[in-house]
Amino acid sequence: MSAVRAPILTSVKRSLFREPAAVAAVGALLGALAVVNGVAIFRGMESPWLLGAAIVCDVIAVGLGALLAAREVMVADRRIEASDARLSAIIDSAMDAIITVNEAQNVVQFNRAAEQLFGCTQGEALGAPLERFLPQRFRAAHRAHVDKFGTTGTTSRRMGDMTTLWALRADGSEFPIEASISQTTDGERRYYTVILRDITRRKQFEEELQRSQRELRELSARVLEAREDEKTHIARELHDELGQMLTALKMDLAELRRRLPAGDNDLAGMAGGMDALLDRTVSATRRISADLRPLMLDDLGLADAADWLIQEFTKRSGIACESRLPAAEALQDTPKAVATAMYRALQESLTNIARHSGARRAWIVIEVQDGEIRMEVEDDGRGIAAADLAKARSLGLKGMRERFTFIGGALDIDAAPRGGTRLRIRAPMRDALAEGAA
């Protein structure tokens, strides 16, 4: 190709009218011709030879003008040919496939990248309908989309913004593409140019990434589920086994104190100290058991467990709480995974309020609406910055968000109208873990 197009590219001359010397020469020639014609008009009757000379000069000038015009036309043609050659070279060297069709959607341009992409030579593609390179199920819709695009007046846009486009190779295999379309007019004719690329590998990477993320979420959910089961087991062991032992020990201590000899103040004081220590141990055991897994969450449900948690938070932190909770019957069908996620989110939110917010009041709302459980926790503290949410160590919030994403819910954190932080959560009244396993 370069051997054919090299003379076109190298033989283009500049227009004479771009040369100052040439313009000056033409101006001088026209001026001299005007003088000769003027003299011939006034002295032509006296000197016939002068009139003849003027006529000859005019003929010569007309001939030179015609030659000059012809030369300029040739230069313009060569320049157009050179421009077309450069454009063709650019299009052929493009990494993306470029296809141009006319208003009838027949191919009029097909570059080398398109040849490689579709497995079709340029000679086979030129004049063929564009539908040849589309799967049968998309052809009618694609033709309608292109025709509609031609009436919009938009010069270019991306194709398939929300969906994946598919193309058809010469061997019949389909592959995903990314494409943009533009339109231009040449007189009364309209042309559409599509620039496209094969995104098969990118789609494979995206699907692999999505699969990996899905597996990580499933693994995280299973780990959380196993941890909750272990916490439940330990909490019941503390509540049942250790609780019973401590209760028996307290009863034995009470009997021992009753049998102490009268007047032995030292033994009585020691026994009283043991009884007080035993009471603190019982309280600590109950608190640790409840922190691990409140048994009322399994026995009484989310509403009662949330109410207990809010009351305990108020006692420990001194932060006043206003809560609006649904009746226990409204949440009785809540799946275990959803109830646990809601409870843990409330627990984490209240812990963050106590540790970081500096709040004096907090508001908690839990409601059931449109088949979803919705919870909103708000405080009047100092709030949370966006940079703090993005910190790598903010694992609590990230863990909550991942937990709700997996069960089909969502978690949002923003500034509260009262000046602090507002956390909003919604989760479906169904078990996504069980559905995923099924």
pLDDT tens per residue across span 317-338:
999 999 999 888 888 888 888 8
- At what angle are helices 395-406 and 200-236 packed, to 10 degrees? 100
For residue 393, being part of any structural domain is answered with yes
Q: Which domain holds residue 145?
A: 94-198
* 14, pLDDT greater than 80: no
Lowest-confidence range among 10-24, 49-63, 318-332, 405-419?
10-24
pLDDT higher than threshold 60 for residue 162: no
Neighbours of 5 (CB within 10 A): 16
Check residue 4 and give its pLDDT: 33
pLDDT (tens digit per residue) in 272-291 = 888 888 888 888 887 887 77
For residue 203, being part of any structural domain is answered with: no
Tell me, yes or no, whether 285 and 385 share the same domain.
no
pLDDT at 438: 47
152 in a domain, yes or no?
Answer: yes
Q: Are residues 83 and 100 in the same domain?
A: no
**What is the per-residue pLDDT for 50?**
61
Looking at the fold, whether 78 and 104 belong to one and the same domain comes out as: no
Average pLDDT of the chain, as a whole number: 80
Q: For residue 100, what pLDDT is reported?
A: 92
State whether 339 and 436 are in the same domain.
Answer: yes
- Cα-Cα-Cα-Cα dihedral sign, residues 219, 224, 225, 229: positive
- pLDDT at 6 (0 to 100): 37
Q: Which of 63, 91, 119 is the last residue of a domain?
A: 91
Q: How is residue 218 written in tokens?
A: 């499933």
In a domain, 118, yes or no: yes
For the chain, how many structural domains are there in total? Answer: 4
Confidence grade of residue 11 (pLDDT, cut at 50, 70, 90): very low
At 44 the pLDDT is 56
Residues 68 and 113 placed together within one structural domain of the fold: no
Please state the rounded mean pLDDT for residues 59-69. Answer: 72
Residue at 266 is within a domain: yes
Task: Give the whole-number percent of the chain exceeding pLDDT 90.
Answer: 20
Which of 168, 198, 228 is at the close of a domain? 198
Domain-located, residue 204: no
Cα of 422 vs its chain's centroid, Å: 25
Separation CA 69–CA 72 (nearest Å): 5
**Is 80 exceeded by the pLDDT of residue 197?**
yes
pLDDT value at residue 173: 93
In terms of Cα–Cα distance, which of 189, 193, 200, 168 is closest to 179?
A: 193
CA dist 252 to 42, 83, 136, 347, Å? 150, 106, 87, 37
Most confident among 1-5, 343-347, 375-379, 426-430 (mean pLDDT):
375-379
Comparing 18-32, 219-233, 245-259, 414-428, the range with the smallest average pLDDT is 18-32
**What is the mean pLDDT of the segment spanning 417-434?**
79
pLDDT tens-digit readout, 141-161: 888 888 888 777 676 666 655
**What share of the chain in percent tops pLDDT 70?**
79
Give residue 97's pLDDT: 92
Q: What is the pLDDT of residue 1?
A: 34
Does residue 143 contact residue 106 with C-beta atoms inside 8 Å?
no
Q: Say yes or no: 280 and 167 in one domain.
A: no
pLDDT at residue 87 tops 50 = yes
pLDDT confidence bin for 115, thresholds 50/70/90: very high
Q: What is the pLDDT of residue 243?
A: 79
